[in-house]
Structure 1
């Protein structure tokens, strides 16, 4: 399995023209600022101001904003402009429930298809997370964290579901970053994935599901009943 840089796997407009590459770079920059809270929830984004800042046309900025809209990170309304999405606990909790269902179902398929071979690419993602944590780059850590989960789900071969999971991942990371626990350690965040890798190396599907389930439901402390009764 190829291990790609997650930034290169983010949505890209179908054309490879220079303007498309510029809009993708702007999209990545704005995603970073939204995820880290540099662009605050409910703040207004003006195309003209962004075009001036990035020294591009408004059309190029619009392409970047449309990509962010696909992820639910901004809202674009006719005659009302673009607003950074809110970051509410209710939304995060529902997305985590959805993510849990998607990933835990998907990993069963992935283990059935690849077995212990899944562990090695996940180790490389963990190494990238640890390097980002060591450098204090919380956004890059989130990029590699999302890449870990995205590639694991890719192995389930459920392409129509991948964009749904991608949205769940970015919003979960944004909520965690904007509502940090006291003294949260970046290296500890990265190393939480080790138990998933250990389970993958065993190829014991129930062990893998249990490790992944615990990982997802403890990303943010919503209490013991986040999955609801009988989960």
Structure 2
């Protein structure tokens, strides 16, 4: 069986909460789930994963626990672990939560915005552009999520930030699994330009509208997933 490989930039960009080896497995599995290489409801066996990554089952178990905390896998007693589903109803609910988190506290973001924040956002934008030009959708997703997390960090609501992080990863997974093929990745990166411009101008109303539309139309820039609710 082939040994799984992963790139160092991926592991460096995702915050590490465990041993280096477990983190590497966790990031590799997260990437496969987000990109759809591991499909919804796929069964994940610790022994098989340990062989793939040439590590202990304990290392795999630690990585799976982190994925479970993100909601990307579901672990059930005596039933094992499987990849979480990716349903429209969940996507709508998470987008609604994300809208409230990111848009309701923009007055705090603008109030606390400084040169460091703007510089960081420009850096993330350029990183997204580079990933898009390289056709690296997962790396683009990492920098995209980091852009929004950094923007929200200026609201100074650290207890809320992990909730936003969970919304972001599931929003991106839903987008990747449900968007049309051959999506323009560079256009995805450029969608962030007016957000930065509005922030630089201190335009609260404009920023609120821009960010709200940006979040609501995450899947191929439409449809607006917040306009209807599935049963």
The TM-score, its normalising length taken from structure 2, stands at: 0.89
Aligned in 2, Cα 1:214/1:138: closer, same or farther, shift over 3 Å? same
Indicate the residue corresponding to 1:17 in structure 2. none
Aligned in 2, Cα 1:67/1:38: closer, same or farther, shift over 3 Å? same
- For residues 36-47 of structure 1, the aligned pairs below 5 Å read 36-47=35-46
Question: In the aligned structure 1, how far is the partner of 2:114 from the partner of 2:24?
Answer: 36
What is the CA RMSD across the aligned residues, in angstroms?
A: 2.1
Unaligned runs of 5+ in 1: 15-19
Q: Describe the superposition over 1:75-106 as per-residue Cα deviations: whole angstroms up to 9, x where unpaired.
A: 00011110000011110111001101101123
Indicate the residue corresponding to 1:212 in structure 2. 211
Aligned residue for 2:160, secondary structure, equals helix
Deviates more, 1:175-184 or 1:78-87: 175-184
Aligned residue for 1:109, secondary structure, equals helix
Unaligned runs of 5+ in 2: 1-8
Aligned residue for 1:112, secondary structure, equals helix
The TM-score, its normalising length taken from structure 1, stands at: 0.89
Q: Describe the superposition over 1:117-170 as per-residue Cα deviations: whole angstroms up to 9, x where unpaired.
A: 633221110000000000000000000000000111111111111111011000
Q: How many residues align?
A: 220
Indicate the residue corresponding to 2:78 in structure 1. 79
- For residues 108-127 of structure 1, the aligned pairs below 5 Å read 108-114=107-113, 118-127=117-126
Indicate the residue corresponding to 1:171 in structure 2. 170
Indicate the residue corresponding to 1:66 in structure 2. 65
Question: In the aligned structure 2, how far is the partner of 1:32 from the partner of 1:39?
Answer: 9
